[in-house]
């Protein structure tokens, strides 16, 4: 998960950072950032907890999701981090909300939908906000791998400044065994270089999963690890 630094930065950098601000609600399925065209089953819920590092920013994140009706999922997320790249170190607190609608979902072949995201981050003297609309597409192969494509548009605002930016992402879930998946993804925003990450997802039991990923992009390294429970 990336969090925007409170220092003055170019508009494209602010936009890219805020895109990942809502990471607790933006994960396709831990540990990915590229989202999938799928939702929780009606009446099901999930809880997620994780730790992350993005360059010199370290933190914790938590999220909860619920499927109120078929094809719809709502999520809320919270994060708390510390940016060691500034002096004095800067505390960062984020929260997010997402609403996902998937009118067509299939066990094989194409699934597609839309997701709205809102994220806000608080630090000393700074409160950047993000609004985003993302188109979701997933192709599930008969052998099990899933290919995800995200295309979006986001609007960021801080200190009266607005910036509109196009976003994109491509991700792959590849089953290595009945309980272990490999994840690979690349994602980014207009005017910013791509991020790339590799991860693993391990099913401990029905609905319970551990995950971890490492990545690099825009002259920095990042990583996350966590646990998710669907019930």
pTM attached to this predicted model: 0.86
Residue 79 lies in a domain: yes
Mean pLDDT of the chain: 89
CA atoms of 148 and 204, how far apart (whole Å): 24
Residue 114 lies in a domain: yes
Residue 158: its pLDDT value, please? 84
Residue 5 lies in a domain: no
Of 52, 55, 5, 7, which is closest to residue 26 (Cα–Cα)?
A: 52
pLDDT band per the 50, 70, 90 thresholds, residue 85: confident
Q: What six digits make up the tokens of 182?
A: 């490999």
pLDDT band per the 50, 70, 90 thresholds, residue 125: confident
Residue 136: its pLDDT value, please? 98
Residue 2 lies in a domain: no
Q: What is the mean pLDDT of residues 86-94?
A: 90
CATH number of the CATH domain containing 101: 2.40.160.40
Residue 6 lies in a domain: no
pLDDT band per the 50, 70, 90 thresholds, residue 27: low
Number of domains in the chain: 1
By percentage, how much of the chain surpasses pLDDT 70? 88
Residue 200 lies in a domain: yes
Q: Residue 21's domain spans which residues?
A: 11-230
| Whether pLDDT at 170 is above 50 | yes
- Range scoring the smallest mean pLDDT among 13-17, 55-59, 115-119: 13-17
Q: Of all helices (H) and strands (E), which one includes residue 197?
A: strand 195-205
Residue 184 lies in a domain: yes
Residue 4 lies in a domain: no
């Amino acid at each position: 998960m990336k969090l925007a630094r409170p220092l003055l930065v170019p508009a494209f950098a602010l936009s890219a950072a805020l895109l990942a601000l809502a990471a607790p609600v933006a994960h396709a399925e831990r540990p990915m950032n590229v989202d999938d065209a799928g939702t929780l089953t009606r009446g099901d819920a999930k809880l997620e907890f994780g730790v992350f590092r993005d360059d010199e920013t370290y933190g914790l994140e938590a999220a909860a999701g619920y499927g109120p009706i078929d094809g719809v999922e709502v999520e809320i997320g919270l994060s708390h981090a510390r940016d060691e790249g500034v002096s004095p170190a800067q505390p960062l607190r984020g929260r997010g909300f997402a609403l996902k609608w998937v009118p067509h979902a299939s066990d094989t072949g194409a699934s597609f939908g839309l997701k709205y995201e809102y994220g806000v981050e608080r630090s000393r003297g700074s409160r950047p906000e993000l609004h985003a609309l993302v188109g979701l597409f997933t192709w599930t192969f008969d052998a099990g791998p899933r290919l995800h494509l995200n295309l979006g548009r986001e609007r960021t605002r801080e200190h009266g400044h607005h910036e509109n930016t196009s976003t994109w992402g491509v991700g792959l879930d590849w089953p290595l065994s009945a309980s272990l998946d490999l994840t690979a993804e690349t994602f980014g925003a207009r005017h910013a270089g791509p991020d790339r990450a590799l991860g693993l997802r391990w099913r401990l039991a029905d609905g319970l999963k551990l995950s971890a990923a490492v990545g690099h992009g825009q002259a920095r390294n990042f990583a996350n690890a966590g646990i998710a429970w669907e019930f």
